[in-house]
A and B are shown apart, each in its own frame.
Chain A
Amino acid sequence: AQSVTQLGSHVSVSEGALVLLRCNYSSSVPPYLFWYVQYPNQGLQLLLKYTSAATLVKGINGFEAEFKKSETSFHLTKPSAHMSDAAEYFCAVCGGSTLGRLYFGRGTQLTVWP
């Protein structure tokens, strides 16, 4: 069975501060993990993906995530938040018996204060 848990439905940071969005996964097979971002009135945009290569994955817009098997985590970080980062972020896992299917976390709303 595949699932992800996103800790914290809302995260607020000041502009220029570190962004940390948490994601823990559960998978009976080596997981493929993704972070997506959704801006208001738009679809989901792929930020980055982990596919069992390097454990530190760099994505678009300055975001990165580190795969930690021992902690079953795939947290998303950005050193310095920008106002334009305000959006909904979804962690997702793929794999198992239905290999192409994505299982999404509940999402984390990121607010960036000036």
Chain B
Amino acid sequence: DTEVTQTPKHLVMGMTNKKSLKCEQHMGHRAMYWYKQKAKKPPELMFVYSYEKLSINESVPSRFSPECPNSSLLNLHLHALQPEDSALYLCASSQTGDQPQPQHFGDGTRLSIL
């Protein structure tokens, strides 16, 4: 069982759709992360929220829009995605984002763009 919960587990969407990925943790962590992972590759960092403020944006295209409503929730809003955006999207959390600490990962949302 993972302590970081991601929904949905699978998502298929067209290039004109709008959808959202959700992530929730109840470990009291104050840093949350979005990663994109292609098959047989390591995760690539997209965004970091620390104390509910966006602290890192890795030059991600604007068709990906993160949101952190509170310290337990992290959303990733998707709009007008491209086929190359098909990937596993992982959410992670850590106690804080300003110290070297392990990150705890969810099981991801597998996204397919038609």
Contacts and interface: CB of A to CB of B under 8 A. Distances in A.
- Does B associate with A? yes
A44 B31 contact: no
B48 A101 contact: yes
B4 A43 contact: yes
Q: Kindly name the residue among B6, B43, B108 whose own CB sees the greatest number of chain A CB atoms within 10 A.
A: B43
Nearest to A106: B42
B100 A32 contact: yes
A36 B105 CA distance: 10
A102 B104 CA distance: 12
B100 A51 contact: yes
A104 B43 contact: yes
A96 to B, nearest CB: 9
A49 B100 CA distance: 11
B3 to A, nearest CB: 11
Interface residues of B, number: 29
Majority secondary structure of chain B interface residues (helix, strand, loop or mixed)? loop
Given A43-B105, A100-B31, A107 B100 contact: no
A105 B42 contact: yes
For the residues of A in contact with B, the DSSP-based class is strand
A65 interface: no
Contacts of B43: 44, 90, 104
Given A100-B94, A106-B42, 11 more contacts: A32-B101, A43-B105, A43-B107, A44-B43, A49-B102, A88-B40, A90-B42, A98-B56, A99-B99, A100-B31, A101-B56
Interface of B: 2, 4, 6, 31, 40-43, 45, 48, 50, 56, 90, 92, 94, 96-108, 110
The 8 closest A-B pairs by CB, nearest first: A32-B100, A104-B42, A43-B105, A100-B97, A94-B100, A44-B105, A43-B107, A95-B100
Interface of A: 32, 34, 36, 41-46, 49, 51, 88, 90, 94-95, 98-102, 104-107, 109
